[in-house]
Structure 1
Amino acid sequence: MEQRIGSSSQPLEGAGFDPAFVPGLTSPVSGKAEESAEDTEPEETQEAPEPEGTDEAPESEGADEAPEPGEEPVDGPVFEAADRRARIVADHKGVRLALDDQECEFRWDEIGAVETETGRFGKRYTVTVHTPDRRWYPIEIEAPARSRFKEWDEKLDAVLDAYFEDDAEQPAE
């Protein structure tokens, strides 16, 4: 009896594991093109960190908060909370959420409700933006201390009172 050392299963082949298995789905690549692609990849990776290290990122962040030409600065309440990954800003423009490299912005007329929640244990503060089309966008921010929850709730309530218009509160005609 013969015994093999190692796995007895053979590698699977087919379109589910290799898109190049289907003729015409991908363009054929010659050996020279693969070698030249390998040569160019290290150059691209060396160039990529340079733009990240420049001062362009802080300028672009400051450009979001600076008033646009023709727009007057608003002296209303502003709510900002951030941790190492997440950030939320609520001001006269609306609510902006950011998590890592993903961002979304909601104008006040696009928002159906804003909900806050704190965990019973831990230091996570959750803000959920609900839209009228029954979608919701939650974001969790880790607070430096649980005592910040009350401060953040007060600031966010002030912003919502100033800018958010709830249709249910308006008298019916």
Structure 2
Amino acid sequence: MSMYSSRKAFTLVEIVIISLISSFVFVSIFMVWMRTGRTTNKGGEMLDLQIAVRSINDRIRSDVRTLCEVISATENKITFLAYLKGKKVEVTYKYDPTTRTLVRNTAGTPGNFRANGLVTRAKFSCRPSLEKFEYLQLALELTSEGQGNAPASKLAQVMVFSSRSLDPAFVDVK
């Protein structure tokens, strides 16, 4: 045997220390990866809700811009006459809390929005009143379905729509 015994293997203590350090690094990376995935999912849900609100906003805005007469209005439903393709058409928007949908009817043809099943609250109000209509206010809350145990995302918005077709109140100038 030689006097110099060289160490060519790891000791048990070195192996334990290396495995602890590497497991700490892997657990940290895994936690960051999981958190990033949740954040991405939440961002996707919020984007879907924003797109749904935008589509509702665009559709109602185009109808109310051509509004010529409000027929009836409650918190969950509004019916008015609007010009569509050059003709006066009765347009109805109705919120159904049981199915969580906002429905648009024109001359007997129902149509759901893209936010079908996402609308948790909707409230219509004619301002300052139904008789002296100046603008329509819609308070809307959408809630995503949520995935797994993650809480659902919510988005609330108040929208104001005014008509370009109403006769302005002219004043006689003397």
Q: TM-score with structure 2 length normalisation? A: 0.26
Larger radius of gyration: 2
> Which structure has greater strand proportion?
2
Q: TM-score, normalised by structure 1?
A: 0.27
